Chain A
Amino acid sequence: MLDIKNLHVAVGGKDILKGLNLKVDAGQVHAIMGPNGSGKSTLSYVLAGRAGYEITQGSISYNGEDLAALPPEERAAKGVFLAMQYPVEIPGVTTMMFLKSALNAQRRSRGESEMDAIGILKTVRKKAAALNVSEDMLKRALNVGFSGGEKKRLEILQMALFEPRLAILDETDSGLDIDALRLVAEGVNGLRAPERAMLVITHYQRLLDYIVPDRIHVLANGRIVAEGGKELALELEAKGYEQIVRDAA
């Protein structure tokens, strides 16, 4: 589904990703682990299509299509979803209105009919209950005054609503207490499906106790330096990033 080859990305003229290779198949959950500054967030942003992330070399193929050629909204409509590390607050737009606009925009882009307000409300309510997203949160301005946990739960609610084919979770665990983490992980696990791939980006091994990946890749200095099964997380926990990076060199 996702095939990244020799990807080089510069941000503000500075090289951040320096020859990254990664292949993720449908039905799989891959984890990207790495120390701060290794390029994890750059990878997530370049996949979602944020401006200012310049691909200087290499390619990103998504279901055989050149992902880099598409604007962010088309990537979303084609099933790419990025659960953001820092969801933005938008005063003046209610959460429910935002969800409706986004869902219908994606449907329009795919040539599907728009859902009416009542249909969306019913769908959202059902999925929101499972993630403990309250009715009040849906009525409030998007992410405004939400706690860290509420913001992350809303990201997962969007993932459940949009039903993406490739979900990228950027540091979804950061700043969450154990209960919030468990809730988020349950939400994510509930969305594992044969037709869906997930890329879980995290600094901490802890998240992978709850979302068990098929593969783990260690990102350091803009490149994948080590790969393995879920046991690699334990090795990282025991040895630390420095040792793993050194072993790989």
Chain B
Amino acid sequence: MTAALALPTRRVEEWKYSDLARALGDAGFGETSARVSVGALPAGVEIFDLDEPNRPAWVKAHYGKLRGNAVSAVSLAKARGGIALRVSKGACIADILRLDFAGEGHVRALLVLEEGAALTLSERFDIAGTRNAGFEIVLGANAQLNHVRLSPVSDAVQVEEISLTLARDAVYCAHFANFGAKLSRVELAITLDGEGAQAHLSGVSVLSGDSHADVTTQVIHAAGRTQSTQLFKKVAGGKAQAVYQGKVTVAHGANGSDSRQTAKALLLSSRAEADLKPELEIFADDVKCAHGAAVGDLDADSLFYLRARGIPEREARHLLIHAFLEDALTDIANTDLRETVRGAVSSALNEVSA
């Protein structure tokens, strides 16, 4: 492995709360390639197997082009195969595109939405396998992508970097439901490249045992009148560790941009940990930016109120935890996907207080 492809250590600031080298051990991610597959391919979505020769122009134009982190560079260098997907200009896909990452090792995917295209993407990270995924998403002008990523509880090391670029007026709405792993990290590198582009991110984590879940976001407002909102809610019991790092940069000249960032964690045990780190860098004028983070316990007054009305303690706690997560869940536009995430949250909560 060359120095340029070395995996980050905890001494790298962005990896301070996620000790990748230690979690992986000597084996690292290995040399194999993990898999990515799609369910029934909705009409209007074009697919290309990256193993095949003669990559079409749209793959050549975008594959491996977006900025990525050190881990993403490793997957780009080592992954074999993977898939590229495209929705062509103006096509609005009604059916959900289901994307599954599975197996052990490195894997890459590329999704291109051309101008005015619209798609709902349901991404699932399989629980088995130490995996490093690199996913590039390119949204053309006025394209719309709704993305829900679900990673059920796993005992492996699972890392994904999603790099996105948004052209003028493109809209990206994404939800990350992360239930933890030995080490779980999803990192978003988003560039709002065209005027009026918007990224709306939300997420929930429900963690128990000694699991770990890290959601790290980097949003660059590179053009004017761009918007980003982030709402991440985390519940941690046992010895679990929930991490949120969010860095928003408003570049020089990105005037009239608007950014909001909220991260809240609920700690259900004295040994659970939450590391919430919102960051803001502003180089432009006339911008609206707000960020906040809060870590707390369930409210004793609320708990007493519910119990005094006859609701048993365990049920009352669950009700309050659901209530805490609710605003992040309502951000999921697709009803079916929202209910899927709700179901996963309910199962995870049963583990938390078991």
Residues of A within 8 A of B (CB): 48-51, 71-73, 75-77, 82, 84, 87-88, 90-93, 98, 101-103, 105-106, 109, 158, 162
**Cβ contacts B310-323/A at 8 Å (1 or 0 each):** 11110110011011
Establish whether residues B308 and A106, one from each chain, have CB atoms under 8 Å apart when the complex forms: no
Establish whether residues B308 and A48, one from each chain, have CB atoms under 8 Å apart when the complex forms: yes
Establish whether residues A88 and B310, one from each chain, have CB atoms under 8 Å apart when the complex forms: no
- Given A51-B300, A71-B313, A73-B313; A90-B308 close (CB under 8 Å): no
Q: Tell which of B301, B313, B319, B327 touches A88, judged by Cβ atoms closer than 8 Å.
A: B301
Q: Tell which of B302, B312, B315 touches A90, judged by Cβ atoms closer than 8 Å.
A: B302
Establish whether residues B312 and A105, one from each chain, have CB atoms under 8 Å apart when the complex forms: yes
Interface centre among A49, A73, A82 (most CB of B within 10 A): A73
**Can you list 13 contacts pairing A with B, beta carbon distance less than 8 Å?**
A48-B304, A51-B300, A72-B304, A72-B308, A73-B312, A91-B326, A91-B327, A92-B323, A93-B319, A102-B310, A105-B311, A106-B310, A162-B309
Establish whether residues B310 and A76, one from each chain, have CB atoms under 8 Å apart when the complex forms: yes
Establish whether residues A93 and B305, one from each chain, have CB atoms under 8 Å apart when the complex forms: no
- Please, how many angstroms separate the alpha-carbon atoms of A129 and B123 in the complex? 47
Establish whether residues A73 and B307, one from each chain, have CB atoms under 8 Å apart when the complex forms: yes
- Please, how many angstroms separate the alpha-carbon atoms of A101 and B317 in the complex? 13
A93: chain B residues within 8 A (beta carbon) = 319-320, 322-323
A91: chain B residues within 8 A (beta carbon) = 323, 326-327
- A243 to nearest B CB, angstroms? 36
Establish whether residues A101 and B305, one from each chain, have CB atoms under 8 Å apart when the complex forms: no
A71: chain B residues within 8 A (beta carbon) = 307, 313
Give the 6 A-B residue pairs with the shortest CB-CB distance, closest first.
A92-B323, A76-B310, A92-B326, A106-B310, A102-B309, A72-B307
- Please, how many angstroms separate the alpha-carbon atoms of A93 and B304 in the complex? 15
- Please, how many angstroms separate the alpha-carbon atoms of A72 and B312 in the complex? 8
Establish whether residues A90 and B304, one from each chain, have CB atoms under 8 Å apart when the complex forms: no
- Please, how many angstroms separate the alpha-carbon atoms of A29 and B306 in the complex? 25
Chain B interface residue bracket vs A: 20 to 34
Nearest neighbor of A87 in chain B, beta-carbon distance: B305
**Cβ contacts B287-302/A at 8 Å (1 or 0 each):** 0000000000001111
Instruction: Decide if the interface of chain B is mainly helix, strand, loop or mixed.
Output: helix
Nearest neighbor of A106 in chain B, beta-carbon distance: B310
B15: CB under 8 A from chain A?
A: no
- Please, how many angstroms separate the alpha-carbon atoms of A109 and B309 in the complex? 12
Establish whether residues A101 and B308, one from each chain, have CB atoms under 8 Å apart when the complex forms: no
Establish whether residues B315 and A101, one from each chain, have CB atoms under 8 Å apart when the complex forms: yes
- A128 to nearest B CB, angstroms? 16
- B323 to nearest A CB, angstroms? 3
Nearest neighbor of B321 in chain A, beta-carbon distance: A92
- Please, how many angstroms separate the alpha-carbon atoms of A75 and B308 in the complex? 8
- Please, how many angstroms separate the alpha-carbon atoms of A109 and B320 in the complex? 20
A98: chain B residues within 8 A (beta carbon) = 306, 309, 319
Establish whether residues B322 and A50, one from each chain, have CB atoms under 8 Å apart when the complex forms: no
Establish whether residues A109 and B310, one from each chain, have CB atoms under 8 Å apart when the complex forms: yes
Nearest neighbor of A92 in chain B, beta-carbon distance: B323
B302: chain A residues within 8 A (beta carbon) = 88, 90
- Please, how many angstroms separate the alpha-carbon atoms of A90 and B317 in the complex? 12
Nearest neighbor of A50 in chain B, beta-carbon distance: B304
Establish whether residues B323 and A90, one from each chain, have CB atoms under 8 Å apart when the complex forms: yes
Q: Tell which of A92, A105, A162 touches B327, judged by Cβ atoms closer than 8 Å.
A: A92
Establish whether residues A90 and B310, one from each chain, have CB atoms under 8 Å apart when the complex forms: no
- A178 to nearest B CB, angstroms? 27
Q: Tell which of B299, B301, B315 touches A105, judged by Cβ atoms closer than 8 Å.
A: B315
- Please, how many angstroms separate the alpha-carbon atoms of A37 and B324 in the complex? 34
Interface centre among B307, B313, B319, B324 (most CB of A within 10 A): B307
**Cβ contacts B47-67/A at 8 Å (1 or 0 each):** 000000000000000000000
- Given A51-B300, A87-B305, A92-B327; A73-B311 close (CB under 8 Å): yes
Q: Tell which of A82, A92, A109 touches B308, judged by Cβ atoms closer than 8 Å.
A: A82
- Please, how many angstroms separate the alpha-carbon atoms of A109 and B312 in the complex? 9
Establish whether residues B305 and A88, one from each chain, have CB atoms under 8 Å apart when the complex forms: yes
A84: chain B residues within 8 A (beta carbon) = 305, 308
Establish whether residues A92 and B322, one from each chain, have CB atoms under 8 Å apart when the complex forms: yes
Establish whether residues A105 and B313, one from each chain, have CB atoms under 8 Å apart when the complex forms: no
B316: chain A residues within 8 A (beta carbon) = 73
Establish whether residues B311 and A102, one from each chain, have CB atoms under 8 Å apart when the complex forms: yes
- Please, how many angstroms separate the alpha-carbon atoms of A109 and B313 in the complex? 13
A109: chain B residues within 8 A (beta carbon) = 310, 312
- Please, how many angstroms separate the alpha-carbon atoms of A76 and B307 in the complex? 8
A76: chain B residues within 8 A (beta carbon) = 307-310
- A69 to nearest B CB, angstroms? 15
- Please, how many angstroms separate the alpha-carbon atoms of A72 and B320 in the complex? 17
- A46 to nearest B CB, angstroms? 12
- Please, how many angstroms separate the alpha-carbon atoms of A88 and B305 in the complex? 7
- Please, how many angstroms separate the alpha-carbon atoms of A32 and B113 in the complex? 70
- Please, how many angstroms separate the alpha-carbon atoms of A76 and B316 in the complex? 14
- B302 to nearest A CB, angstroms? 5
- A21 to nearest B CB, angstroms? 24
B299: chain A residues within 8 A (beta carbon) = 88
